[in-house]
Structure 1
Amino acid sequence: MNEIDLAFSDAVTLGRDIARKRISSLELTKLYLARLERYGARFGAVVTILHERALREAKAADRALARGDRKSPLHGVPYGVKDLLAAVGAPTTWGAAPYRDRSFDFDGAVVEKLHAAGAVLVAKLAMVELAGAFGYNGADASFTGPGRTPWNREYWSGGSSSGPGAAVAAGLVGFAIGSETNGSILTPSAMCGVSGLRPTFGRVSRYGAMALMWSSDKLGPMARSARDTLAILRIVAGSDPRDDSTRAEPMFAPKKKPRVAVIVGARKQTQAAVVKNFDDSLAAIADAVTIADEVKLPDLPYGATIGALLNGESAAAFRGLIESGKARELQSPDDRIGGYVQYETRAVDYVDAMRRRREIVDAVGKTIAPYDALLFPTLPTVAYPIGTPFDKVYPDAPGAVDPVTPGNLCGLPSMSVPNGFGEHHLPTGFGMMANPWRERELVALAAHFQARTAFHTMRPPGVE
């Protein structure tokens, strides 16, 4: 296998190749370090490359394997984390200029678990500043510059996990860890053409991760195949006394023939190619599922509810930054003022939103309960052009429904896998959402789709 094929192999394959000694972890790590140096800045994907730590961990992984101590299926596989996770050996910047020199002397829980599993941390990956806390309205919202999808550098890689999406798509890491509060794993997964899994709220510890909206923040894998995401999740999942939202719930086995439904309105006000790719995706899985009638999400104020909650919680999380005046050092003009607007959030608005959230959780839970998954196009459009404000892009395709916000308010697991290309030959995503703790259901469905299609194996041009 040549170096390019190695770089674009999925993580499970890489772990197997290392175990069979077809390549050493050190050799693979050096390959990814070189690719990070060559392509990382080109796609706005990297904050810090951890040469010293990566080489040390790779050598340790090879020594352990020589002793017969293979710690996990991802033993020796290099990976990157979104730069809101603490990791010894590099700054943890949160994508924001005021924090670009700030470091922690400990690893976040996810980094700890991956280290114990023998994986090799090679990079802190770029992100939208403060994970989009203050309402950015354009791609240039990080001190590292805009994230760029490797499929066309003039278009955004999505946010706020912009670096993980671009780095996985460009073959710069074996896999990555992103985060989602309201779309930050699913969006870059769709825009970059990778497989992203947003776990159930409480599945993965957030210890050592930046808080944006503590009642909705989730960490999850972004990778080159659906099966990778499950392999990663098995390692990082579990309860943690340092994050009292976590629970040690089982990973339920998927059903042989799950019952699924399409969300009503999922095709409306959506780009034609996105709709076609979605319909083709349904056809690809038709033999493996029972597709029920379309299901309508309850008509509830999802956007207003998450907006009020995010305003209150992010203002509290970044109170020091706001009160110090350093928010004015942020990259995005919207972010320089957005924190001060959030700071004025009224307590009654926050409390009312918490009450509405309870109604939403109950109503959406009853809607999805009869099904094993609800299906939808991940996004109504392809990636946004860099330089155009988000509220000005694709005015004819705003999407008639938003499945992402209800899922995040309810803490439900969701997934996006690549399912074709649309305008400007940019990737589109096949979205799916399940009941709590049913991540394996999603991965099995996505893996079935990927066994019948090749979109997840396709490589962007110009990254050989």
Structure 2
Amino acid sequence: MPDEVLVEPVDELGRRLRDGEFTVRELTEAYLDRLERVGPELNAVVTVTDERALAAADRLDEELEAGEDRGPLHGIPYGVKDLVATEDAPTTWGAEPYRDQEFDEDAAVVRRLDEAGGVLLGKLAMVELAGGFGYDSADATFSGPGRNPWDVEAWAGGSSSGSASAVAAGLVGFAIGTETWGSLNTPAAFSGISAVRPTYDLVSRDGVMALSWTMDKVGPMCRTVGGCRRVLEAIAEPRPADRPGRGPPKGKPGAPRADGRKNGFTIAVPEDAGEGEQEGVRENFERSLETLSEFATLERVSLPDLPYAAMAGTIIDAEAAAAFETLIESGEVHELDDEIHQLGSYRASTVLAKDYVNANRVRTKAQRRLDELLTEYDALVSPARNSVANPIEESLAEFFGQFETPPVNAAANVTGLPGVTIPNGFGERDLPTAVEFVGRAWEEPTVLALACEYERRTEHVDHAALVEGLEERTMHADD
């Protein structure tokens, strides 16, 4: 099977399976071959679950032959970030102290994907402990620095590095990543793929490593927004409004509001969007705004003036110190690869209770203020990152310190709002750039409808061309 087939969108792979162009087993074997052949070169894979994958493929082929179709993901091979538990392989959390860690059952998200007909190929690399205590090196994991398929001397982004590079390079049909503060958004932007950060708690975190109990989210990474929508439909829990004490406040709509609008979408553009960015990022964002203006009304707005980054940092530190208390107090934290990560664990342990409480009090205010702002809009749009990926050997602090960080990502993460990251071109060093759409809580359908329309009007990233040159680039890595 040509490698170019392996970078086709989820729906196209599904169509070909149903048309009999290949079987689930043939598709699975092709992905397994590529995963084992190219994955190590990108430091993208930790464990390949080939026996499980092939057994599932045969079963799913039998079902299709018998006329049983589980839906759009039936027979589509995928991978999961290695903090998602599986019963048949170690779940290392990307960290040396947990390298041999095993669990007795699959995480909820894996169970839902099994039910949807997905074929689990393996566990994908990540920054150790999802980077929770801070890190300054792309090499902050025992699996090696996540290499970017577009330029193997650039970073794939953290902490879902392996998930992003595996999707971009056609090692899997789609992947599952996680985000606490940018870990879906950043690697998707750097690697030229799409990702969805769901509303907090829309996707179960059962069986997923806890970094920050009140900020962790689990989401899909695909080559298209349409693929992300398919995966999200499969992994989302039943509407939270059906569960007592949870879900959107009374009166919030659950369907895309644009369906009932005569004038299409209305999008908010933060006043500071377009400032402090690399030139290529800024130019591509301006072109994105031009495209959006073809089918939406754009209005400049000011985000509520609140300390989003300080809130997020305080909450993550306090909750991560609690989650990894045993690791820290035992001294095993010194087995982590990144020295700053080791020291950061002790800093996190000093967060005062009053600071944590106050951060959460301000968070409640931020949730209310942002919701009031978004009442008038279908989404906020912002550059996903203000630069392209950093050179893999360069200090993260030094490289990213040159650019201002878009405040939208910190604001959305600390308040639990959904977001979609989608490629919008190439910038410096011919590396991908992206935009992010952020919506109201529980309104994924609206944000996804907007992102899909934007995607329909723009040129898709040519992952087939990426595949053609990848083998040569990996051969010369570190020469």
- The interval holding the TM-score normalised by the smaller chain is over 0.9
Residue 193 of structure 1 corresponds to 192
After superposition, what is the alpha-carbon deviation per residue over 1:262-289, rounded to whole angstroms, capped at 9, x for unaligned?
A: 1111101101110110111121232211
Over aligned residues, Cα RMSD in angstroms? 1.9
Which amino acid counterpart does residue 425 of structure 2 have in structure 1? G
SS at match of 2:142: coil
1:298 aligns with 2:304: yes
Distance 1:178 1:44 in 2: 16
Q: Does 1:373 align with 2:376?
A: no
In 2: Cα distance, 1:378 partner to 1:136 partner:
20
Equivalent residues of 1:238, 1:246 under 8 A apart: no
Among residues 322, 333, 337, which one is paired with 1:331 in the alignment? 337
Could you tell me which amino acid in structure 2 is paired with residue 452 of structure 1? R
Partner of 1:283: 290
User: Against the structure 1 CA distance between its residues 25 and 185, is the aligned structure 2 distance closer, same or farther, given a 3 Å change threshold?
Assistant: same
Offset of 1:87 from its aligned partner? 0.8
Q: 1:352 aligns with which of 330, 353, 358?
A: 358
For the 8 Å contact 2:108–2:206, the answer to whether it is kept is: yes
Q: What amino acid does structure 1 have at the position aligned with 2:24?
A: S
**1:397 is matched by which residue type in structure 2?**
F
Say if 1:250 and 1:76 are closer, same or farther in 2 by CA, change over 3 A.
Answer: farther
In structure 2, list runs of 5 or more residues that go unmatched.
Answer: 472-479
SS of the residue 1:200 aligns to:
coil
Inter-CA distance 132–396: structure 2 relative to 1 (3 Å threshold)? closer
Matches of 1:157 and 1:387 in 2, distance apart?
12
After superposition, residues 86-125 of structure 1 pair within 5 angstroms as: 86-125=85-124
**In 1, Cα distance between the equivalents of 2:47 and 2:20?**
29
Amino acid at match of 2:258: K
1:441 corresponds to which letter in structure 2?
T
How do 1:11-30 and structure 2 match up within 5 A? 11-30=10-29
In the TM superposition, residue 381 of structure 1 has moved relative to its aligned partner by 0.2
1:33-182 matches, cutoff 5 A? 33-182=32-181
TM-score by length of 1: 0.96
Compute the displacement of 1:228 (Å). 0.5
Determine if the alignment matches structure 1 residue 463 to structure 2 residue 470: yes
- In structure 2, what residue type is equivalent to 1:45? A
The answer to whether the 8 A contact 1:152-1:426 is kept is yes
Deviations 1:376-405 (A, max 9, x none): 110000001112111111554224x41101
**Which residue does 2:431 correspond to in 1?**
426
Query: Pairwise mapping of residues 165-314 of structure 1 onto structure 2 (< 5 A)?
Result: 165-239=164-238, 252-253=255-256, 255-256=258-259, 257-292=264-299, 294-314=300-320
After TM superposition, give the deviation of residue 159 of structure 1 in Å: 0.7
- Give the conservation status (yes or no) of the 8 Å contact 1:203–1:247: no
| Equivalent residue number for residue 6 of structure 1 | 5
C-alpha distance 253-369 of structure 1, shift in aligned 2 (>3 A): closer
Of residues 410, 431, 452 in structure 1, which corresponds to 2:457? 452
Deviations 1:82-101 (A, max 9, x none): 01101121100000000010
- Identical counterparts, % of pairs: 44
Shift >4 Å, 4+ stretches: 243-251
Instruction: Output one character per residue of 1:200-223: Cα deviation in whole Å (capped at 9) or x when no partner.
Output: 112100100000101011000000
SS of residue in 2 equivalent to 1:135: coil
SS at 2:86's partner residue?
A: coil
Q: 1:101, 1:278 → 2: CA distance? A: 44
Query: Contact 2:9–2:227 at 8 Å: present in 1 too?
Result: yes
In 2, Cα distance between the equivalents of 1:377 and 1:339? Answer: 31
Q: Which amino acid aligns with 2:38?
A: Y
The residue correspondences of 1:375-414 to structure 2 (distance < 5 A) are: 375-393=381-399, 395-399=401-405, 401-414=406-419
CA contact (8 A) 2:150 2:470 kept: no
CA 1:364–1:137: 2 relative to 1, 3 Å: same
Q: Aligned to 1:382, what secondary structure does the other structure show? A: coil
Please name the residue that 2:477 is paired with.
none
**Offset of residue 114 of structure 1:** 0.4
SS of the aligned residue for 2:470 comes to coil
Using the TM superposition, give the Cα deviation of residue 310 of structure 1 relative to its aligned residue in structure 2, in angstroms: 0.7
CA–CA distance in structure 2, aligned partners of residues 455 and 272 of structure 1: 21
What's the CA shift for 1:369? 1.8
SS of 1:31's equivalent in the other structure is: helix
- Partner-residue secondary structure (3-state), 1:455: coil
Letter in 2 for 1:273: G
Shift of 1:137: 1.4
Partners of 2:29 and 2:140 lie apart in 1 by 30
Aligned-partner SS, 2:151: coil
Given that 2:421 and 2:434 are in contact with CA atoms closer than 8 Å, whether structure 1 keeps it comes out as yes
State the partner residue of 1:441: 446
Determine the structure 1 residue equivalent to 2:326: 320
Indicate conservation of the 8 Å contact 2:83/2:208, yes or no: yes
Return the match for 2:421 from 375, 392, 416: 416
Q: What TM-score does the superposition give when structure 2 sets the normalisation length?
A: 0.93
* Larger displacement relative to structure 2 (421-430 or 385-394): 385-394
Q: How many residue pairs end up in the alignment?
A: 460
Measure, in 2, the Cα distance between the counterparts of 1:397 and 1:341. 25
